[in-house]
Amino acid sequence: MDIHKTAASFAGKHGITINGPDMDSLIDALLCDMQLGLDGVKTDFSGTTGAADTSCAENSANAAGAAYACPLTSSLEMIPTWKTPPQEPVKNERVIVIDAGGTNFRSCLVSFDHAGAASISDFEKCAMPGIEKELNKKEFFNAIAANLDHLKNKAAKIGFCFSYAMKITKDGDGQVLSFSKEIKAKEVIGSFVGSSLSEALVQRGWKKPEKIVLLNDTAAALLAGASTASSCRRYSSYAALILGTGLNTAYMEYGAIPKIAQSDDLTPHTQSKGQIVVCESGMFDKVVRSDFDIEFDKTTQSPGCYVIEKMCSGAYVGAVASRAVHGACREGLFGKNASKALTALGEFSLYDMDRFFYTPFCTDTVLGAALVHSDERDYNMLYVLLDMFVDRCARLTASLVSAAVIKTGRGKDPVLPVAVLCEGTTFYKTYNLRSRIMGYLDELLLRKRHIYYEVLSLDNAITLGTAVAVFS
């Protein structure tokens, strides 16, 4: 039987949507979920669920049976940030910038000169606290404070990009709602990051910071794009995608946000300018999962949660694909030698997949070495199976970005497109992923809906956006 037909039969048997998902239906479900999240039909800001809600696992299970249908409750946090792009460049200021990501913890000093030009100094990178072992609240914030010793008292203001679900308060602090990307710090959930860090810094001999402003990496990327826009190239609005270790989107919301509608800060003027909303789109669960997604999900720190993130992001794609390959070995899709070697290999990463895509016959790679005694049919079968997961990631990601762009309500004029800031190693480095996402975006936005957009990438976008956020 033809390799592609064999792979397609295997995929269909186990729920891998080889020619899907239906992206238009998925966008409709996303837009519905987004609006329900803005309405507050999910959780209150303390992170507790309302009477109509169920657990992550229950929501995910329910969604599998009614994929793409408009839900009764939202799986998306839809977090208002109280931030809008600054109207003027930041000048003559220094800001300590912290970037707590899914893998790395970065810190530096950003200085804006009299013309608004930014320079970065005192940069350091280390492992994100909570990756290796469970940390309590005190240990977590003490670890962060210790990582900042090289920046002690070099600026009175701190911008903190914290790439996890938070409730952003009007004063710029952030209350942790949940952790993803396998961070082990359960006691930190519910804590206010800014005030907790300020306390830890003072205990290490710092002057009390004048201001600590929290934001998500997607919001930071969006702010970076908006703050560097040229008068020669104008945009009607902004959206952002992070696809790296994790997955998230953000966009500019110009309509009413019912769950904060009573705020005294929301005047007609401020509403017309819009504010950044962080979707926490990795939580979206109205999507069909394969047997292998479900199998892997049970082994994670948060079973049933962050459903679409576990189907797309760099932390998880390799683990799911590994299980699919092992299943294919059991069902005889590979020859004897290949099946034995691939099964013995255990779990591999997205990085291992990439190396195989670029150099399939290289014996210095994990997957290439496993197939060294196999024939070309086994190489081709492995390529086709792994590529299913890359293409699925592209379709899901394009749907998420399209929904964010559509939700802005802008992009109707070709000279005023929506700028989409894209960041993340998975987006830029995964074999053929970026080009596929771009192709699907053209189909979904430009050709089908006549919505104009432009994908942007900026050097040091998250760092600069985090610095700008202190003044936005």
What would the pLDDT profile of 133-170 be if each residue is shown by its tens digit? 888 999 999 999 999 999 999 999 999 999 888 889 98
Who's near 254: CB < 8 A, 6+ residues apart? 237, 271, 272, 274, 408, 409
- Cβ contact 198:96 at 8 Å: no
pLDDT at 39 exceeding the cut of 80: yes
Token couple for 40: 């507050």
Question: Nearest CA to 221 among 241, 246, 236, 245?
Answer: 241
Least confident of 30-34, 153-157, 271-275, 285-289: 271-275
Q: State the pLDDT at residue 71.
A: 60
Going along the chain from its start, the domains and CATH numbers come out as: 93-218+463-469 (3.30.420.40)
pLDDT at 63 exceeding the cut of 60: no
C-alpha distances (whole Å) from 1 to each of 277, 310, 389 are: 49, 32, 22
Q: Which amino acid is at 102?
A: G
Name which residue leads in pLDDT, 181 or 5: 5
Quick one: pLDDT band at residue 131, thresholds 50, 70, 90?
Answer: confident
Mean pLDDT, the chain, integer: 89
Spatial separation of the C-alpha atoms in residues 153 and 205, rounded to whole Å = 9
pLDDT at 121 exceeding the cut of 70: yes
Token couple for 206: 């710092």
Question: Nearest CA to 107 among 116, 115, 120, 98?
Answer: 98
Question: Nearest CA to 81 among 160, 179, 178?
Answer: 160
C-alpha distances (whole Å) from 385 to each of 1, 315, 370 are: 15, 19, 15
* 105-111-114 Cα angle (round to 5): 160
Say whether pTM exceeds 0.85: yes
Quick one: pLDDT band at residue 271, thresholds 50, 70, 90?
Answer: low
Name which residue leads in pLDDT, 99 or 54: 99
C-alpha distances (whole Å) from 364 to each of 326, 343, 384 are: 21, 18, 21
Q: State the pLDDT at residue 19.
A: 67
